[in-house]
Amino acid sequence: MWWRELQAISTSVPEFSSPGELLTVDPTADVADGAILDATRGPIIIGAGTKICHGAYLQGPIVIGSDCLIGNLAIVRGPTRIGDGTRIGFATEIKNAIIEERVAIGPQCFVADSKIENDAYLGAQVRTSNHRLDKATVKVMADGEAVDTGLDKLGYVFKSSITGKAIEKATLPQLEQFMAIFPEAVRGLISERVRLEDAPELLRRPGGIKQVVSLTR
């Protein structure tokens, strides 16, 4: 189950023998003078060719791969793992997340307790709400059944199988399913529950999706 991967990332960050090793920045990485790297809660590792822009705040434990971009005023809080070639936009916040390779996340997003797989694109101001309004533990649909994760915070998994279609608005956990809110510019309304894997096909239908589609797992 994908949420088990989130629980495991805090233990997947390499252990270091001395406080001086808590911050590891590749010599070819570019960290702006105004960026803050806070390794008091865990190590921070920054790969080759990665750029950390002015005003960005990183709080470990974090592993950032090579050739990444962490934009101005972005916040990344660990435990988080970011894959090679990923770009995080201006003022976006990432918390307790697995962001795989070549992912693009636009400005002013909030991605928490979530997994974003290879080559995904999240447009500006996408929010992965990570807790239920009734404060109960989050359930996820798996093989047609609602599985209680036992977690009071859990966001979203954006599968690589549906990449090529961007998320433009928000995702949020519901009672026993997930809901995706699409741009109002996409006309029409699909009211029935659909499988997550079917979402790209629904977007191609005449009329498309106006606002809300309930997505099962």
- Residue percentage of the chain with pLDDT more than 90: 40
Core vs surface per residue 78-114: b (16+ CB within 10 A) or e: bbbbbbbbbbbbbbbbbbbbbbbbbbbbbbebbbbbb
Q: In what order do the strands lie in the sheet with 104-105?
A: 30-31, 51-52, 69-70, 87-88, 104-105, 121-122
Element (H, E) at 207: none
Q: How far apart are CA 23 and CA 138, in angstroms?
A: 34
pLDDT digits (tens, 9 = 90+) for 54-73: 999 999 999 999 999 999 99
- At 44, the pLDDT band (50, 70, 90 cuts) reads very high
Determine the 3-state secondary structure of 196 from DSSP: helix
Q: How far apart are CA 107 and CA 99, in angstroms?
A: 16
DSSP designation for 148? E
Token output for 47: 């790969």
Comparison of pLDDT for 206 and 186, the residue scoring more: 206
Q: How far apart are CA 208 and CA 185, in angstroms?
A: 10
Determine the 3-state secondary structure of 169 from DSSP: coil
The alpha carbon dihedral of 143, 212, 175, 116 has a sign of: positive
**What is the predicted pLDDT for the residue at 3?**
73
Q: 74-78, 151-155, 197-201: lowest mean pLDDT where?
A: 197-201
User: Over the Cα atoms of the chain, what is R_g?
Assistant: 18
Q: Does domain 2-216 have CATH number 2.60.40.1260?
A: no
